[in-house]
Structures are given as C-alpha cells and as structure tokens.
Amino acid sequence: MTGTVRGWPIRRWLTLLAVAEAVLLLAALAGGGIALSNLTDARNRLLDVIGAQRLAAIQLSTALLNQETGVRGYQLGRKPDFLAPYTDGVRSQGDAVAQLRQLGATPGTQIGDDLDRVLRAASTWQATVAPTLTPAAPPVTPAQADRSRTQFDAVRGALDAQAAHLATLRAEGRADLDGAANFLTAMLIAVAVLIVLLFVLLFLGLRRVITRPILRLAGEVRHVADQDIHRPVRGEGPSELVQLGSDVEAMRQRILDEVAELERAHGLLDRRTRELERSNADLEQFAYVASHDLQEPLRKVASFCQLLQRRYAGLLDERGEQYIEYAVDGAKRMQGLINDLLSFSRVGRKPGEHVVVPAAELVDGAVANLEVALSLNRGKVTYDDLPEVRVEPALLTAVFQNLIGNAVKFHGEAPPEVRVTAERDGDDWVFAVRDNGIGIEAEYADRIFALFQRLHSRSAYPGTGIGLAMCRRIVEYHGGRIWLDTETGADGTTFRFTLPARLERGDEEVGVA
C-alpha cells in the first residue's frame, strides 16, 4: 500500500483497499470469536462441571459423615431411631455417586479414581460396622471400635484427597477463565486498534492515490487558467485522472487554437472596422458635399423656372407653361428625395442620448408636427395608456409621425382616424398604429419597407417611398422590429413594432405612464 502503480483505475484501488480492510476485519472478528468461545468454555467448565463436582463431593462427604455419626450413636444407645442418619447417609451417598459419575468421575480419570478410592474405603468401613447394626448384635468391643475408627479415618483421607484434587481443578478452571477473559480483552483492544489503523490506512491510501493527484491536477489547471495558458497539463495517478488530464490538455490546445483564430479574426475585424469608419466618414462627407452641390443647382433651376413662369405668364402656350411646371415639380421632388436620403443615412450614424420618455409624449410630438395635415383632412389621433421607453426621442417621434402621416395620406372617403396602443409581450412592448384608410394587400407586406418602393403613382399620392424604410431602420436601431399586421381582419392598416421593455444598464423595468 505504500507504492503507487501508475495506470491503475480508481475502481481497482478502491477494490484493493476494500479487500484489505475486509480481510483484516474478518481476522479480527475471528480472533474475537475464538476468544469469546474460549471464555464461554472456561466459564461453563468452571461453573457447570468443576463446581457441580465439588458440590457432589461435598454431598458425598456429608453422607459418609452422617453414616459414621449414626453408627456411633446406635452403637452407644442401641436405639433404632439413632440409625436414621446412617440410612439417610447411605441414600444420599448413592445420589452423590450417581451425580459424580454423570459429571465425568469415570474410571481412568483423576476424579474417577478419587471416587473409587473413597468408595473402596467406605465399603470396607461399612462391611466392618454392618454386623454391629443388627438388633441381636452384642455390644461393640473396644477393639471393634478402634478398628471402625481406623477404617473411617481412611475414608476421611480419601475424601480429603478428593477435595484437594477438586480444589486444584477449580484453581485451574479459574486460571483458564481469567486467561480467556484477558485474551478477549486483548482481542477487543486489537480490534479497536485495527479499526483505527484501517481508517488511517484508508485515509492515507485515498490521499496518496486519489486526493493528491486530483489536487495536483487542479493546481495545474488553475495555473493555466490564471497565469500561463501555454503551460501543458498532465494527469498523474489512476487512469481516470490521467485521462482527465489528457482531456484538459486537449481542451487547452483547442482553446489556444480558438484564441489564435479569434485574434486573427479580431485583427481582420479591426482592420475592416477602421476601413469602414474611413468609408463612413468619406460617405458622410460625400453626402454633405453632395447635398450642398446638388441642391444649389436644383434651387437655381426651380427659381429660374418660377421666374420664367411668372414673367412669361400668358405669353407661352399651354404646353410651354406645362413644361415649366414639370421642371419646377421635378426640381422640388429632387430636393425632397435628397433630404430624405440624407435623413435615412444619418439614422444611427451619430447616436444621441437614449432617455426614458413616455411614449404618449412622442405621439403628441408627432401629432403636433402633422397638425396642418390633420386639420385639413379632419383627422383624429387617439391612444390608450402608453408605457415609458428608453429611446432617442427625435427618432421615435419620426416613426410615429411617418405612420400617422401615412394614415392621413392614404385615407378613404371617411376622415382619417388613428389609434395607437401598446401591450406587454415578455421583455418587449408591442406598439400598434391602426387606421381606417385604404389598407395594404398582404402580398406587399415585405415590399413596403424597402427603399423607394411605392404602391401608388406619384400623381395619386405624393412622397419619395423612404418613410417606412426609415421607420424600420429606426426601430431596428432601438433593438426592435416592425411589420405589417395582415391578420387583423378589419378595414384599414395596422402597423406593429416592438421596443425593449427593460431599461438598459441594469435599471428597473419600464412602467406604464
């Protein structure tokens, strides 16, 4: 367990540790079981065998002593009642001998030999005193009494030897019991120490085989992430950690390749951004110069054509006056087209400050700009409670002005009516501008937002065809989208566009004004 075999999987290490722990624990449990079994055997032998043998030997000794007492009393008093201890002792002697035989006092054993010696001595003594116990027996002579006493002393000697041997067996049994108890205590201590060692071994083994390689790999990964991404990462220890190190190294190589590719892309993007900035600056300068250079001749053409129209009024025929009128109208339309193109190109080029403003104020501003057109056409604009939005006010006012202006321009026989509403859809506000005008066919839903796309002739409805394209550019510049609602199912036109409902820079949600 002290060495580390490279390439072993974690599962094999854990299996090895588990097997080692299981073997040691089983050995400890087996030793504890043996110690407990020895303790039980020693206790049972001491209590159930040796102790019972001593009790039976004491019962035998008492029975023989009672017999001797009864014999002496009868010999002296010659009364039959004095023989009761003798007869009881004979019966008790039989019970004690039978119990000793059951407890292992068989011939050939020490306790059995002791019992045989006691019984031989007792039989000799009993044979000597038996004739003196009959009713017609003569009184005992001193010689008979001395002989009986001598023979019973032999019985006492045999009983003392038996008692001494049983005491020795009892001392040995107690010693065996104490030894078994001490062995069990030692085994319990060994099991406790072994469990502690197993936990220490498990901790050190896991630390060496798994934890230390993981910490080393984690340190290398942190070093790569925080300081030096070019430093290689290598896994050590179990095969899983080696494979993990290889995967991290492959990922590091991919990141380096992607970073290099991103750096090349950023360099290309920076170059193209600078080129685009130069191009935009040149385009803006060109647009500024072109607007002045183009509008000045147009103003002269229009002015001189109007002078010709006033000076030669009535002198030219109808066709000549019509030609002059065409020239003036063309010059004016060219001026309007140039102004609209300039306005379209400036959307988002020089972004202004985005502020939180009630959408109702933007609608009111658009209505004020269209006051003359609305008054001439008896138009009416209404709106519900509109939310606050973060926008460039001038640009969003232009959106509402274009949409409301289209409703006034393309109205039907009834006076134009426009209604502006807004509703919440997730993280967006969806604005709707509905009118009761002539409507737009669904097939033109995408075409109308392109530059210079018109659905009607200039003679029927004036305009340059840039208004809706400018609305789309402004709405997309604010992070929304605009479309023609073709599913309203009612007369007129409904334009919808979205604006973010959440304020930028971590502000709170926009509320309803």
pLDDT, tens digit (0-9, with 9 covering 90-100), for 143-159:
877 888 888 888 888 88
Residue 120 and residue 137: Cα distance in Å, rounded?
25
* Average of per-residue pLDDT values in the chain: 77
Position with higher pLDDT, 454 vs 193: 193
**pLDDT band of 372, cuts 50, 70, 90:** confident
Residue 328: is its pLDDT beyond 80? no
Which pLDDT does position 459 carry in this prediction?
45
User: In whole angstroms, how far apart are CA 387 and each of 54, 323, 508, 513?
Assistant: 109, 52, 14, 5
Q: Which amino acid is at 69?
A: T
Nearest-5° Cα angle at 385, 383 to 391 = 90
C-beta pairs of 283-286 under 8 Å, 24+ apart in sequence: 283/345, 284/345, 284/349
Residue 60 and residue 118: Cα distance in Å, rounded?
9
Which pLDDT does position 341 carry in this prediction?
55
Residues 6+ apart with CB under 8 A from 399: 471, 474, 475, 497
Position with higher pLDDT, 314 vs 139: 139
**pLDDT band of 391, cuts 50, 70, 90:** confident
Which pLDDT does position 227 carry in this prediction?
75
- What value does the mean pLDDT take over residues 79-104? 83
Beta strand extents in 384-464 (DSSP E only): 388-391, 417-425, 428-435
Residue 494: is its pLDDT beyond 80? yes
Position with higher pLDDT, 462 vs 19: 19
Q: Are residues 240 and 10 in contact, defined by beta-carbon separation less than 8 angstroms?
A: yes
Q: Kindly list the domain boundaries of the chain, sorted by start residue.
A: 10-213, 238-346, 353-500
pLDDT, one tens digit per residue, over 246-305 is 788 788 788 888 888 888 888 888 888 787 777 666 666 666 666 666 666 767 677 777
Just give the CATH number of 353-500.
3.30.565.10
**pLDDT band of 4, cuts 50, 70, 90:** very low
Which pLDDT does position 162 carry in this prediction?
82
pLDDT, one tens digit per residue, over 212-231 is 778 777 877 887 777 777 77
pLDDT, one tens digit per residue, over 159-185 is 888 888 888 888 887 888 788 788 888
**By C-alpha distance, which of 439, 389, 375 is closest to 412?**
439
Residue 460: is its pLDDT beyond 60? no
pLDDT, one tens digit per residue, over 39-50 is 788 787 777 778
Identify the residue whose tokens are 């190190």: 245
**By C-alpha distance, which of 376, 480, 367 is closest to 426?**
480
Which pLDDT does position 430 carry in this prediction?
92
**pLDDT band of 420, cuts 50, 70, 90:** very high
For residue 78, the surrounding DSSP H or E stretch is none
Just give the CATH number of 238-346.
1.10.287
Share of the chain above pLDDT 70, in %: 80
Residue 461: is its pLDDT beyond 80? no
Q: Are residues 309 and 324 in contact, defined by beta-carbon separation less than 8 angstroms?
A: yes
Top-ranked range on mean pLDDT: pick from 7-21, 323-337, 381-395, 456-470: 381-395
**pLDDT band of 506, cuts 50, 70, 90:** very low
Residue 450 and residue 160: Cα distance in Å, rounded?
134
DSSP-derived letter for residue 416 is P
Nearest-5° Cα angle at 402, 344 to 361 = 110
Nearest-5° Cα angle at 418, 414 to 421 = 150
Residue 155 and residue 61: Cα distance in Å, rounded?
9
Q: Are residues 335 and 293 in contact, defined by beta-carbon separation less than 8 angstroms?
A: no
- What value does the mean pLDDT take over residues 1-29? 69
Which pLDDT does position 3 carry in this prediction?
41
CA end-to-end distance (rounded Å), the chain: 75
Q: Which CATH number fits domain 10-213: 1.20.120.1730, 3.40.190.10, 1.20.1250.20, 3.40.190.170?
A: 1.20.120.1730
